[in-house]
Structure 1
């Protein structure tokens, strides 16, 4: 495990008078190949290695002394104990271990809360690759890692980070299937809780929700939509707003399972029973979703497979292989449990 420490004193630079990307261009290779040579890693032909080493020497770089330790794939996570972190790490570890790499993680919550930069410690450690499950990654961050020859792969970023590759699930089809399920049960007044509007995945889920209504010929009612964060508290408060309306929804599609848990609390406070009076659908299928009473109908994201896919992409880049696309989307699965039923009969 990698422990966070106070920001270290500036290290003596290994970098010379040209960025790694320029060294790579001069050598006719990729930046990850230069990084391999600079860090003493395997997987580079002898003639290529000699050509790159000569350029590195000419431009003032010092090759890192190898210690025999296995190269490391670092995973950047905002909350280590979140319900998403562990399955992602399991997926990354499965792939990394098969390629004789170790896996480390950095929980960036404390750094971000303190207003400190999160990337410097990773750049100083020079890992074999970095995978982020962290929404605050920017295109500039991607450029910094590329300049140091460190492959970076993001999981479900807020926006497009081209050319940094991203891995996620098909949020549009997940929301579509969740909403169709409610429509098939007979619901027509369906509330919607969304995630942050800046988030690409949140927007895709809204689009999938609205597409399902369009296909069914059911008008979208803007007053039944509430936008918030992916938290229990937001689900409780926004759900209470919907349920307090004179014409409340008979079902609610939530942006994630935490919001859905909040809606459970709002329904309980309003004296409503799930699913007799209100149907609820979540998104993610975190472990706790099956423990609720009643168990939550939700859209399952394959987090372990997402982590494994990100690891395969990162290691491919570390080997100097080009990727064939910018974003990789994995399929979702609707898990039907006890929180959804036909709408109550109106007397």
Structure 2
């Protein structure tokens, strides 16, 4: 068996000679180690490419019948995340790919640094990662890019680096459609309960809301715009704040279905009838929108298709395909249900 190992050793030694470095240095580069100077790393990578040498990650993926993709979620309590996951799993089954789920919000779990997580992906031979979480900033994605790990971010809160593939929905158009629907029902006092103020998707939905108001000559009221989180608690707190205003809104556009569910819950506590006294529109189009009481009018994102697209892009990067675009934006559409109705007039919102 000694003779069968000789070519691998000679190949590694030849790469070291060509790059003008030691064999241990070559080993560090192919294993994703960080303690190598950038110039030296570039020489080694060039020599590796010329030789056709396969890294441990590439060898493991070839050896395994089924590629493994890691998917990172904040929580499985999010209907948004579960819908995206269903899309990923559906395409994975059709493509003979395994999906490893990593839930960052699990209590008691020991958190890994981005460097550790990236190195673990290399060490365990996974072929890429799909990120559906607010826990990864652009800076935290850098260790994955440095190791050439295929990565796709779904609807990132902040714009990722230009070389990161992202999949999202037409947030601006969705925000405009939601607000235009309420304007068409005669509402003029329309509030916006948004998610994190700095989040890119939230800003796009807010700007769509403002564009619809301005197109109808309706002034944008500062008191009607409240930022927070994409969670029901923000819907509850936002509803309480809006009801304290001298001129209550007659309608609310909530920037997520979760926020809208909080609004509906607080409306029941305050004995405000939806939609007779106030109309509510959500955003996401999750199964929760269909099952709420009353069923929620919502801007539907193609969440499962976003998951399918994300996995397709990971696999294309793994194969080395050239990507036409690194930003994919899928269309949204408004689904009208029973939480919106024609405006009942000034009296209904003032009592």
Higher helix share: 2
Partner of 2:55: 38
TM-score, normalization: structure 1? Answer: 0.81
Partner of 1:322: 322
Partner of 2:82: 86
1:41-94 residue CA offsets vs partner (Å, 9 max, x unmatched): 4xxxxxxxxxxxxxxxxxxxxx65976452101111110232122321222223
Cα 1:251/1:238, change in 2 over 3 Å = same
Contact (CA 8 Å) 2:83, 2:286: kept in 1 or not? Answer: no
Residue ranges of structure 2 left out of the alignment (5+ in a row): 1-26
Distance 1:104 1:222 in 2: 44
1:92-125 residue CA offsets vs partner (Å, 9 max, x unmatched): 2233333332111101114898665256245313
SS of the residue 1:234 aligns to = helix
Matched, 1:120 2:120: no
Cα 1:21/1:341, change in 2 over 3 Å = farther
Distance 1:307 1:197 in 2: 25
Cα 1:119/1:304, change in 2 over 3 Å = farther
2:73 to 74, 77, 100: 77
Deviation at 1:238? 1.0
Cα 1:308/1:66, change in 2 over 3 Å = closer
- Structure 1 range deviating more: 273-282 or 16-25: 16-25
SS of the residue 1:183 aligns to = helix
Contact (CA 8 Å) 2:253, 2:281: kept in 1 or not? Answer: yes
Distance 1:296 1:38 in 2: 51
1:180-212 residue CA offsets vs partner (Å, 9 max, x unmatched): 000000000001101101210000000000000
Partner of 1:142: 141
SS of the residue 2:79 aligns to = coil
Distance 1:190 1:69 in 2: 54
RMSD across aligned positions (CA): 2.6
- Structure 1 range deviating more: 146-155 or 274-283: 146-155
Matched, 1:103 2:93: no
Matched, 1:334 2:334: yes
Q: How do residues 292-331 of structure 1 correspond to structure 2 at under 5 angstroms?
A: 292-331=292-331
SS of the residue 1:109 aligns to = coil
Contact (CA 8 Å) 2:213, 2:220: kept in 1 or not? Answer: yes
Cα 1:237/1:24, change in 2 over 3 Å = same
Q: How do residues 183-202 of structure 1 correspond to structure 2 at under 5 angstroms?
A: 183-202=183-202
Corresponding residue pairs, total: 310
1:134-173 residue CA offsets vs partner (Å, 9 max, x unmatched): 1222223332112222101101112121211111111101
Matched, 1:169 2:186: no
Contact (CA 8 Å) 1:145, 1:152: kept in 2 or not? Answer: yes
Partner of 1:269: 269
SS of the residue 1:206 aligns to = helix
SS of the residue 2:252 aligns to = strand
Distance 2:246 2:237 in 1: 17
Matched, 1:344 2:344: yes
Partner of 2:150: 151
Partner of 2:10: none
Deviation at 1:266? 2.3
Q: How do residues 251-266 of structure 1 correspond to structure 2 at under 5 angstroms?
A: 251-266=251-266
Partner of 2:20: none
SS of the residue 1:307 aligns to = helix
Contact (CA 8 Å) 2:300, 2:333: kept in 1 or not? Answer: yes
Residue ranges of structure 1 left out of the alignment (5+ in a row): 1-11, 42-62
Distance 1:156 1:275 in 2: 30
Distance 2:154 2:303 in 1: 10
